[in-house]
Amino acid sequence: MLLGAALLSGLLANPPHATAATTAATTGASAAVPVVKVAQVKASPAKQSGGCPTTVGFSAVVAAKGTGTVRYRWVRGDGSRSAVKGVRVSGTRKVVVRDRQTFDRTTSGWQAVEILGRKGLSAKARFSVTCRGPVTVWDDRHHLPARPGKPLVAAASVTADPPSYGGACPATVRFTGTIQVSRTPAEVDFQWIDSATGEGPAQSLYFAAGGPRSRQVVLPMGVGSSTSGWKAIRLLTAGHDSGRAAYQVTCKTTPPTSPPPTTPTPTPTQTPTPPPAQKPVPSITALTPGDYAGECLEPVAYQATGRVALPAGPAAKVTYWWILDGNKWQQQVLDFAASDQPRAQDVTATWSLERTGAGSHTLGLMTEGGPAEPVTRDFRFTCTDQPGDAKLTFHYLLTPVFHGVCDSSYGLRADGLVTTDREAEVKYRLVIDGKPGPLRSETLRPGVKSKIGDFWYGSARTSGAGVVRLEVLNHNKPFMQEAYTWTCKDRTPGTVEITELWPVAYHGDCVDAPYVTAHGAFAAAPGTEITFRWVTDGNPTAPVTLKVGQSGILEVQAANWDRPERKDGTVVLEVLNHDKPSMRAVYPVTCR
């Protein structure tokens, strides 16, 4: 993807995390900011139990009044976010916005809608997925049983090639979906699900009578900047959805500033590729976020979806390429099977824009042997944030010291204490082991010590250590960076099991006595009453009795306590009934 460096000088330098815009979203300087309400936030189905992988849909009603563009995104309980999308408003408008996620393991959580430019989130749509039995991957090695004469059942699987890439960009990740049917003839309706943009358009795949019960669909994605995510296939016909095909691209170099030839120059031993027998027709079906006006504190992720259609006819190869502001992205080839029906394939691309890319842009899609001019979509990228001049100071950073069972993901958190010399809206984020998390926002008052921080999920199965960085992205941009650790322990079966104990490590100026806390979790049968207490630095607290909920997990947190000695301390979580398990951990105190 040769994205002109003169125009987009920083385009490929940073990961394309979804934009963190939090200012009012309007289409122009004179547009009025719409008044927005979000209601009826739902998960469908909110609870499900059965075979996995499976998908959960999310919806909300966004009602707006005014003139301009309402920009929104989905925020998820695991810390991830969708791409930014927009709804144009002129007067009064009510729109149902949707998202969809695929799950291949037992999990629970929530999603909510964030309106950019407005503090807080909508109500949360909570969901739970319980996977029964083993997760089956229906691919070329695991065939769906034949059921001639019975109701149709379909199954899907998806692979990413390559699943992980590090090197020169642009690059291409190719997703190959395998769809199987229990009988022929059959017609299967499906859609691609994307971690950032949600559900794609519905598509159909036909299986001829007496023909193969397995067909493949391919979705190439051009990648212009470091990114990660996943794609899956959701079946609209009765059957088994695919699992997630995860990918990660790390761009280590930027592309040249001038495009290469669109086709190789033939040599005496080469035969030029003949043009396709049928005239292909390209179209751009989606561009997210499209016109953008908001903050540019971090790169803003863009994703485009196109479609190449071909009339009925023999098998053919169609060459296509994207064009951004006159610069071609490296060309790719689509394989079309012979068919007596019109054919179409989707293609996607992703890139990111930074502040240096502000202005008007034109995206194009062109095919060899198709129309003489590319189909195009114009969009405008505007940065509205203004760097502040408040002075922020960090006093400490608290990082987790996790001890517990590592057979599933576990939540962790880091917090910092800051002060500012004037009222300021602070934009900050955590960077965990080099991977930036979502942007957060807090308004701080002058002279008041305020805590800022966020959470993330660990997934390592063996003990280790990492680095967490809490960084402010505006004003004088202070940051703190320290280590965090996790220690994985074997399960200890019993009526009540302590699955987690993690105090925090203090790194700070020690002007005041370090002020710390600890978190814990129990696993037991729903309805079990657990009596427990904390022992901090040898001082036991009063016992507390709580009942385990339907999830079988009870999470607890100790009251904060200070450490006047300004040195390492200990914390113990003790169960006083049942089989009386306990767990002990040391929390470090480091004075800078």
pLDDT digit string (tens) for the chain, length 592 residues: 333 322 232 322 332 333 333 333 333 333 356 899 999 999 999 998 888 888 999 999 999 999 888 989 998 887 778 888 888 898 999 999 999 999 888 888 899 999 887 777 899 999 999 888 777 777 777 789 999 989 999 999 999 999 999 998 888 999 999 999 999 999 999 999 998 888 888 889 999 999 999 999 999 999 988 888 999 999 999 999 999 999 999 988 654 333 333 333 333 444 445 544 579 999 999 899 889 888 788 888 899 999 999 999 999 999 999 999 998 887 899 999 888 889 899 999 999 998 889 999 999 999 999 999 999 999 999 988 765 678 999 999 999 999 999 987 788 999 999 999 988 889 899 999 998 888 888 889 898 999 999 988 888 889 999 999 999 998 889 999 999 999 999 988 889 999 999 999 999 999 999 999 999 999 999 999 999 999 999 999 999 999 998 888 899 999 999 999 999 999 999 999 999 999 999 999 999 8
pLDDT computed for residue 6 by the predictor: 28
> Beta strand pairing status for 343-353 and 245-253?
unpaired
Residue 123 gets which letter from DSSP? -
What residues does each domain of the chain span? 35-131, 154-257+279-383, 392-591
Q: CA-CA distance, 470 to 504, in Å (whole number)?
A: 15
Backbone angles phi, psi at 582, to 5 degrees: -150, 160
Contacts 24+ apart (CB under 8 A), 528-532: 528/495, 528/496, 528/578, 529/577, 530/496, 530/554, 530/575, 530/577, 530/578, 531/575, 531/576, 531/577, 532/556, 532/573, 532/574, 532/575, 532/576
Q: With 0-12 CB in 10 A as exposed, 13-18 as middle and 19+ as buried, what is 84?
A: buried
pLDDT computed for residue 18 by the predictor: 31
Q: How many CA atoms lie within 13 A of 537 on its CB side?
A: 15
Residue pair 577/530 in contact by the 8 Å Cβ criterion: yes
CATH 3.40.50.800 fits 154-257+279-383, yes or no: no
- Which CATH number applies to 35-131? 2.60.40.10
**Which string of DSSP letters, residue by residue, matches 67-87?**
EEEEEEEEEETTS-BPPPEEE
Residue pair 100/193 in contact by the 8 Å Cβ criterion: yes
Measured CA to CA in angstroms, residue 442 lies from 425, 429, 445, 454 at distances of 6, 11, 10, 12
Q: CA-CA distance, 154 to 516, in Å (whole number)?
A: 53
Same CATH fold assignment for domains 35-131 and 154-257+279-383: yes
Residue pair 458/402 in contact by the 8 Å Cβ criterion: yes
pLDDT computed for residue 209 by the predictor: 92
Place of tokens 């027998």: 277
Residue pair 238/151 in contact by the 8 Å Cβ criterion: yes
Question: How many Cβ atoms sit within 10 Å of the Cβ of residue 146?
Answer: 12
pLDDT computed for residue 438 by the predictor: 82
Residue pair 291/325 in contact by the 8 Å Cβ criterion: no
Structure tokens at 46: 């909110």
pLDDT computed for residue 32 by the predictor: 52
